Amino acid sequence: MMNVQHPMDDIDAISKILPPFPKIVLQLLELFREEDASIELMARLIRNDPVLSGNVLAMANHIRRMRVQSDLTDPFGAVSLIGVNRVRKIVISTGMNRFISTGAGSEFIFRHSLAVAITTQELATMCDVMVDEAYIVGILHDVGQLCFQILNTKAFHEACQLSVGDGRILERETKIFGVDHCQMGARLAKHWNLPDHVVSAILTHHNDTVATRNLQAVVCLGETLARALDIPSSPQNRVLKINTAAVELIGIKWDSPEMLDCYGRCHARFLQATSDLSRYRG
């Protein structure tokens, strides 16, 4: 347990007890936004990260082996072969999964964050939201709870258990820590220099009445969907309220064929992601 009287008073100290946020994710996301992004610069960034480099090369060499070609050993050729879209997916999944799986804390928080990243990203494909940003915010939405878990495991666990039935987790967190996990997560995101709309989406992900932006709406509903689908399975997965404003904003219909397909994809992606999670540890 870390001796911090009020988490918001020393955000720098708090951030140091968490896994380092993968700066390469931000660097490459910024690069991906540029239409004339240099493959050479992209490869150089990837080359400096052994795990990321290995995953990009693995994807490229899988394609080359199907063509009975020799393996590549440098990311430049790999990026050129598999294309920017595939590289983007590898960067996001590798960087963000590494972030949630290398720190101390609750295994449920890690897996719940992964589930919400997947459900949020799937919802993002149905409206005008960058799918990569949706995944990142989904991963980070409960980073405030990860912080509380590390600061005072016993008190935080008791608050979670008491809140299973009535959903008053934000109220109990505030009583213990002086802030709730939405406020704590938003402050950390700001400390990491994440964009304002990302900070805002983390801050409001438990808002059940207002939806001002599509990103906020999909994160809010991504949390709801993960709990409704019971991924990962837990007594904590109770849906007490649904943000109807968010539903209307992005225009989804829960019983539509499109959403039924979405439910299946979310389950399948979560099972695949958790089976691969051990690759990103350490």
Is it the case that residue 282 has pLDDT exceeding 50?
Answer: no
Q: Which of 101, 131, 146 is the last residue of a domain?
A: 101
- The answer to whether residue 123 scores a pLDDT higher than 90 is yes
What is the extent of the structural domain holding 244?
A: 1-19+104-282
At 153, the pLDDT band (50, 70, 90 cuts) reads confident
Which pLDDT score is estimated for 35? 61
The pLDDT assigned to 7 comes to 62
Rounded CA-CA distance 231/7 in Å is 29
Predicted pLDDT at 185? 92
Query: What average pLDDT score do residues 81-101 get?
Result: 77
pLDDT at 103: 54
Pair 96, 108 in one domain: no
Entry pTM:
0.80
90 plus 165 within the same structural domain: no
Q: Which of 101, 130, 145 is at the close of a domain?
A: 101
Whether the predicted pLDDT of 4 surpasses 60: no
CA angle 224, 103, 281 (to 5 degrees): 95
Same domain, 236 and 158: yes
Amino acid 36: pLDDT: 65
pLDDT surpasses 70 at 222:
yes
Verify that 138 and 194 share a domain, yes or no: yes
If asked whether residues 26 and 51 sit together in one domain, one would say: yes
Is residue 203 within 8 A of residue 185, CB to CB? The reply is yes
- Verify that 79 and 111 share a domain, yes or no: no
Q: Are residues 271 and 187 in the same domain?
A: yes
Average pLDDT over residues 59-78: 90
Mean pLDDT of 146-169: 88
For the chain, how many structural domains are there in total?
Answer: 2
Residues 6+ apart with CB under 8 A from 262: 122, 123, 126
Identify which of 13-17, 89-93, 193-197 has the greatest average pLDDT. 193-197
Residues 59, 141, single domain; the answer is no
Say which CATH number the domain at 149 has: 1.10.3210.10
Q: Are residues 91 and 135 in the same domain?
A: no
Among all chains, which residue has been given the structure tokens 């589930």?
115
Are residues 92 and 146 both part of a single domain? no
Same domain, 223 and 171: yes
Binned at pLDDT 50, 70 and 90, residue 52 comes out as confident
Contacts of 195 (CB under 8 A, 6+ apart): none
Rounded CA-CA distance 62/172 in Å is 50
Q: Is 37 exposed, middle or buried (0-12, 13-18, 19+ CB in 10 A)?
A: middle
pLDDT for the residue 95: 77
Find all residues with CB under 8 Å of 206, minimum gap 6, and list them.
170, 182, 220, 223
pLDDT: which is higher, 12 or 220: 220
Average pLDDT, the chain: 85
Tokens representing residue 277 in the block: 């999670």
101 pLDDT higher than 70 = no
Residue 205 pLDDT greater than 80, yes or no: yes
Identify the CA nearest to 182 among candidates 152, 213, 150, 223.
223
Beta carbons within 8 Å of 230's beta carbon, 6+ residues apart: 237
pLDDT value at position 276?
A: 64
Q: 233-255 pLDDT, tens per residue?
A: 988 888 888 999 999 999 999 99
Same domain as 272, residue 203: yes
Last residue of a domain, one of 101, 135, 151: 101
Alpha carbons 192 and 22: distance in angstroms, whole number: 10
Checking if the pLDDT of 3 tops 70, the result is no
What is the percent of the chain where pLDDT is above 90?
40
- Comparison of pLDDT for 77 and 11, the residue scoring more: 77
Q: Which amino acid is at 1?
A: M
